[in-house]
Amino acid sequence: MKIKVKNLGVLKQAEFTLGDITIICGKNNTGKTYATYALFGFLYTWQRIFSIKINDNYIKKLLTDGVIILDIKEYVQQAQQIVQNACHKYTQQLSRIFATSVDRFKETEFQVIMNIQNINFSSSFEQIMSTANAELFSITKNEESTDLFITLLVEKEQVKIPTNIIERIIADALKDIIFVQLFPRPFIASAERTGAAIFRQELNFPRNRLLEEIGQTDKNINPMELLFKDYGDYALPIKTNMDFTRQLETIVKKTSFITENHPDVLADFADIIGGEYTVTRNDELYYVPKKNKRLKLSMDESSSAVRSLLDIGFYLRHEAQIGDLLMVDEPELNLHPENQRRIARLFARLVNLGIKVFITTHSDYIIKELNTLIMLNHDKPYLKEIAEVEGYKSTELISHEKIKVYIAEEALIQLEGRTRKTKCQTLTMADISPELGVEARSFDTTIETMNRIQEAIVWGEE
């Protein structure tokens, strides 16, 4: 999947392709967060903004004959147009995604380009539409089949729901069958996560705003109008991140595939934070250090590193699904360099388990550790020996082909509709070698400058 943007924040024109690990690095205020938020917003909302039209005659036939068969390939042929229309609609909603002025996105373009050849029909599908009193109709698809069967389960007189609702339910089923396989389910850990860990009990945004406004208005105010008012004070990635933190009492009742099948990953994560998180029945969140399991620390008593990894820890244990996209804004936040290295190794393991990873970073340690994992991923005896001596597991090694790295920077590019190249803010793809890893000049320039200055200081008198 390729994403193309124009006039998105400081990004004049840019494009990037999702890899198994996608990294955007660069200096501050260069567009990394804008690209991340725009991608997350699309992946989070696409099911609501995609529109598939079901011919009215199909609905009439269903209610007359009791069954219809839709050819899914007919809708696959429309897939690119469906996505294009959705991108246009999504662009118009960017101000709500970012919780900012509409004027900021007047000239913005957001486009998703996908390969419809990747759509397959190997999975089965089954859904029953029910009311409180009866099952009304079923939607089914057999493995490998391209036919979708919609079958009435009651007499048509008993179907009391409007035809437009029936059409929407069928359209939603087609969206799931065609597009879920193309668009990963996103989970984001925003840069604001450290504060959210401390103030999670106070993060009910609608409730707090509702109480605030009721307190400032006269007694004739209609509370229901306030309840359903849309408050756009926070960007969507931050809202969803905060909501996740706020709902931990419910989330801990779930079990991820990692917990069930790969407890060693959780054990390694526990080593990184030096303990474990726990949520009590009273929805109290604590950190329990490994060295003293009788001690329970609240989040404001815990280290900033413990708080910064909270969301990732609960995601791994309770939410992770194969095919997800884990998005982390600055994973190095509050981490010692050694733990930055270990987080890089954790990301590689997740990729090898089937979870895609998307990060923005300023960390040279993370990039260099990924380089090590790339360079060790060769079938050479001396590399295997190094990996064993240094404690690297085969499950942490990764192919360079799975990684995409982009540098947010000013560069000469040819803008669409122009014949000459223009210097502007964009995303430049970094070279990645199987022998040497990522060429991250965004960091290299700074490191080389520091080395030059220090060498001048040490050897300047000679």
End-to-end Cα, the chain, rounded Å: 56
pLDDT value at residue 69:
95
- Please tell me which residue, 192 or 347, carries the higher pLDDT value: 347
Do residues 289 and 277 touch, judged by C-beta distance below 8 A? Answer: no
pLDDT band with cut points at 50, 70 and 90 for residue 230? very low
Q: DSSP code of 317?
A: I
Structural element, H or E, at residue 369: helix 364-375
Q: pLDDT digit string (tens) for 40-72?
A: 999 999 999 999 999 999 999 999 999 999 999
Q: How many C-beta atoms lie closer than 10 Å to residue 257's C-beta?
A: 14
* Token pair for 117: 């050849």
Mean pLDDT of 307-320: 95
pLDDT band with cut points at 50, 70 and 90 for residue 220? low
Give all strands (DSSP E) within 157-254, no chain letters.
Answer: 186-189
The strand pairing partners of 3, in sequence order, are: 16, 112
Whether the pLDDT of residue 416 is over 90: the answer is no
Mean pLDDT of 180-184: 92
Q: pLDDT digit string (tens) for 245-285?
A: 888 889 999 999 999 999 999 999 999 999 999 998 888 89
pLDDT band with cut points at 50, 70 and 90 for residue 211? low
Whether the pLDDT of residue 228 is over 50: the answer is no
Give all strands (DSSP E) within 43-108, no chain letters.
Answer: 67-71
Mean pLDDT of 307-324: 96
pLDDT value at residue 114:
87
Q: Where are the domains of the chain?
A: 1-51+74-114+321-462, 192-316
Q: pLDDT digit string (tens) for 321-366?
A: 999 999 999 999 999 999 999 999 999 999 999 999 999 999 999 9
Q: Return the half-sphere exposure (C-beta side, CA atoms, 13 A cut-off) of residue 76.
A: 19
pLDDT value at residue 249:
87
Do residues 20 and 401 touch, judged by C-beta distance below 8 A? Answer: no
pLDDT value at residue 300:
87
Q: How far apart are CA 354 and CA 285, in angstroms?
A: 29
Which residues have a Cβ under 8 Å from the Cβ of 322 and sit 6 or more positions away?
A: 257, 353, 354, 355
For the chain, what percent of residues have pLDDT higher than 90? 69
Give the Cα-Cα-Cα angle 68, 73, 78 (nearest 5 degrees): 110
